[in-house]
Structure 1
């Protein structure tokens, strides 16, 4: 009998500090950089974002989201046999954020734990990876988390990027099931586009060589994102032998409302079947899809038995989609 990887619990967490566009515009004005609530919102659909305090790391946000997912699943945390954390902003170069999460959750069963780095596609990559572990029969209960503190890598002299990103974490618990769960997934990357979205700095001899801040060519990212998201969504649908009209909910990476709406239009999905949280969360990279998923599950929009299509695109250049039944 086929063993599916099925989501049995979701959770999310946002840092308490909510920064509105107006507040951010005032902060930038003090530095001589001009922007406004209207300028930010009209270009991105973002009205606010949440930023973590300086002493709060990705692992701290991840633990909060994970605790809520574990509670929703009603599972003993010692039954978790794999932890995967998707993040581009780990607490340390090593140990992995996943190992820190294991320790902070008090999971003492010596389960495997590792990080996965695919930037804004990270959660879809991690979900697909967890699916393979469960389908192989090697693991039964996998905790998958997307967690980011992107506020740490923003250049506040660049108004085109510093207004877009937020911090947060989302988590799901996947468990082996005879009922359909993850139906299909697809992942891709094209390293020839590394320069359009990256943090080009690195550490050498204890010093940062290059820039430690996020760099993005917004127009290039927009053009590529709309194209690849449509293709990978159709690839995931075809793999499951389903059509777009069978999708109950689309959860795209919450990067920019115009990219999100463009993808939905290409798939022929009405706006009311797309989960959008970008207005309140901003772009939280690997955390954006699980944050949106948890919100829609908890407010009752997403219900058991419904088909959900997730898709993400990020630096690398990476992109992926996952189709699942709740």
Structure 2
């Protein structure tokens, strides 16, 4: 079973910026209330000409270009989402079609909520090893604005739309570890096709308790599996749900705050897109360089969690 490394990244966000002050005009809230409790100052919402599929295609195309590969090189296409445009065709099928990927490759969606992108990496790794292919395209994409109940002041202020993508490549890289888990529950719910309206609900305090316990557990499991600790990592990328969650974990682990990236102030919680958006931002800003070792941790509805230690290898040499 070969390991994988990251060889390309990309991201896409809608054109509409929605600030906390904008939300305060339509729901009983304020910039001070939102920012002090979450660290979020703005987020992006799709306008009438944008959708989940268009964001996924844009982010995937950027990651493919960044990798230096051609569409024919991709052997697996996976999209992680809870808010795709359709139950079927899948978002991944639309990415496959619009990017001109080969027809004889698996292309499908997965739903593990905010952990979905990291689930996608591990699923793609298994498929690459099993099919003889070498490169996979993984996308995390959400249009959560269409699931918001704008009368629910505790939830609607948290989420935003966006997409992030990465190309991973099989390699002889020795450092790789993953952890996946599930604790079934109804703390975060969004109804899909069926008799009930498609609105997102969340029990915020329960999710906070879950997140602040599961992130240290993920980090501990990844350290045990990889033989590496936080001091060995160049960056730690957690799901960007709430600044207070990440700060709590940093204090509990007595970790270096500079290793933990935070960008929820600009994007809000973008669920499955959160980790890959942060990854691409770090790469494009030059804060992650070729050879850097990354620890990524996701947690979300399900309840699910996932983590990975993986190296950023930069542009493919093919």
Whether 2:181 is the aligned partner of 1:188: answer yes
3-state SS in 1 of match to 2:193: strand
User: Corresponding residue for 2:149?
Assistant: 155
Taking the aligned partners of 1:40 and 1:112, their CA distance within structure 2 comes to 41
Gaps of 5+ in 1: none
Matching of residues 284-299 of structure 1 within 5 Å: 284-299=270-285
Contact 1:63 1:101 in 2 (8 A): yes
Q: CA deviation at 1:137?
A: 5.6
Whether 2:183 is the aligned partner of 1:197: answer no
Q: CA deviation at 1:214?
A: 0.6
User: Corresponding residue for 1:255?
Assistant: 241
Taking the aligned partners of 1:222 and 1:84, their CA distance within structure 2 comes to 28
Whether 2:17 is the aligned partner of 1:61: answer no
Q: CA deviation at 1:128?
A: 1.5
Q: CA deviation at 1:131?
A: 2.0
Deviations 1:22-73 (A, max 9, x none): 11212x1xxxx32111111011100000111234221210111111111111
Equivalent position to 1:213, from 189, 194, 199:
199
Deviations 1:124-174 (A, max 9, x none): 111111122234463211000000000010000011111110000000001
3-state SS in 1 of match to 2:244: helix
Deviations 1:78-113 (A, max 9, x none): 111110000001111111110011111122443210
Taking the aligned partners of 1:110 and 1:135, their CA distance within structure 2 comes to 16
Whether 2:169 is the aligned partner of 1:170: answer no
Whether 2:7 is the aligned partner of 1:13: answer no
3-state SS in 1 of match to 2:133: coil
Alignment length (residue pairs): 312
User: Corresponding residue for 1:47?
Assistant: 41
Q: Structure 2 length normalisation: TM-score?
A: 0.94
Whether 2:124 is the aligned partner of 1:130: answer yes
Taking the aligned partners of 2:140 and 2:154, their CA distance within structure 1 comes to 24
Equivalent position to 1:78, from 60, 72, 81:
72
User: Corresponding residue for 2:136?
Assistant: 142
User: Corresponding residue for 1:241?
Assistant: 227
Taking the aligned partners of 1:11 and 1:202, their CA distance within structure 2 comes to 28
Gaps of 5+ in 2: 313-318
Equivalent position to 1:312, from 286, 294, 298:
298
Q: CA deviation at 1:229?
A: 1.3
Taking the aligned partners of 1:202 and 1:136, their CA distance within structure 2 comes to 32
User: Corresponding residue for 2:94?
Assistant: 100
Contact 1:244 1:268 in 2 (8 A): no
Taking the aligned partners of 1:241 and 1:265, their CA distance within structure 2 comes to 22
Taking the aligned partners of 1:197 and 1:109, their CA distance within structure 2 comes to 36
Q: Structure 1 length normalisation: TM-score?
A: 0.92
3-state SS in 1 of match to 2:83: coil
Cα RMSD of the aligned pairs, angstroms, is 1.4
Whether 2:89 is the aligned partner of 1:90: answer no
